[in-house]
């Protein structure tokens, strides 16, 4: 067999050998997406499960069990001064859409103030943060995909009231692929 033939044959063999590993390396969350298990749902503004996630009042509208684990969506109703410090998601992308008030958002080192109608996208592995600015309470619709982060929010909402134990918060977030920077 000549050199060119050997390389072609070897490359195919190596490719077939590595292919299962490439597919196997997907995260558990990515594997659990079930496009056939999404349920139609209509959610009114007053509907949803309300969680107090360390001062971020979230009303969960769609969760993974509704969407075949494709997406989770919640509404943040947040007082001025409340926000989330810079952090990185390794599992999901997020979209932030301001409905009321003003949110200062930082994505990948660029900060801006979002007003009603404005949208920001924070892909996984990119640092981002947000904070309500001004004197008005803010309302923001946040979507994360794929779903799964709602489980972290539930755990964080069960922490005792008062100033959060940042070490405990950091550990819970790390279990869900989120680190603070």
pLDDT of residue 130: 98
For residues 69 and 147, is the Cβ–Cβ distance under 8 A? Answer: yes
For residues 66 and 39, is the Cβ–Cβ distance under 8 A? Answer: yes
H/E segment holding residue 6: helix 3-24
- CATH 2.60.120.10 applies to domain 35-180: yes
Cβ partners under 8 Å of residue 123, min gap 6: 93
For residues 132 and 112, is the Cβ–Cβ distance under 8 A? Answer: no
User: pLDDT tens, 56-105?
Assistant: 999 999 999 999 999 999 999 999 999 999 999 999 999 999 999 999 99
For 54, phi then psi, to 5°, come to 50, 45
User: pLDDT tens, 95-135?
Assistant: 999 999 999 999 999 999 999 999 999 999 999 999 999 99
């Amino acid at each position: 067999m000549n050199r060119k033939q050997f390389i072609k044959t070897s490359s195919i063999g190596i490719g077939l050998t590595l292919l299962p590993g490439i597919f196997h390396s997907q995260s558990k969350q990515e594997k659990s997406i079930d496009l056939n298990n999404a349920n139609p749902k209509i959610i009114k503004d007053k509907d949803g499960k309300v969680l107090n996630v360390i001062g971020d009042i979230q009303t969960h509208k769609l969760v993974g069990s509704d969407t075949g684990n494709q997406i989770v969506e919640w509404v943040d109703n947040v007082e001025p001064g409340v926000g989330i410090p810079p952090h990185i998601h390794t599992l999901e992308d997020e979209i932030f859409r301001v409905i009321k008030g003003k949110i200062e958002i930082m994505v990948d080192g660029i900060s801006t103030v979002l007003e009603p109608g404005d949208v920001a996208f924070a892909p996984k592995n990119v640092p981002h943060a947000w904070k309500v600015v001004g004197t008005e309470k803010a309302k923001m619709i946040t979507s994360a995909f794929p779903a799964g982060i709602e489980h972290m929010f539930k755990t964080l909402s069960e922490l005792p009231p008062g100033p959060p134990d940042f070490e405990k918060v950091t550990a819970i977030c790390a279990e869900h692929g989120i680190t603070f920077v």
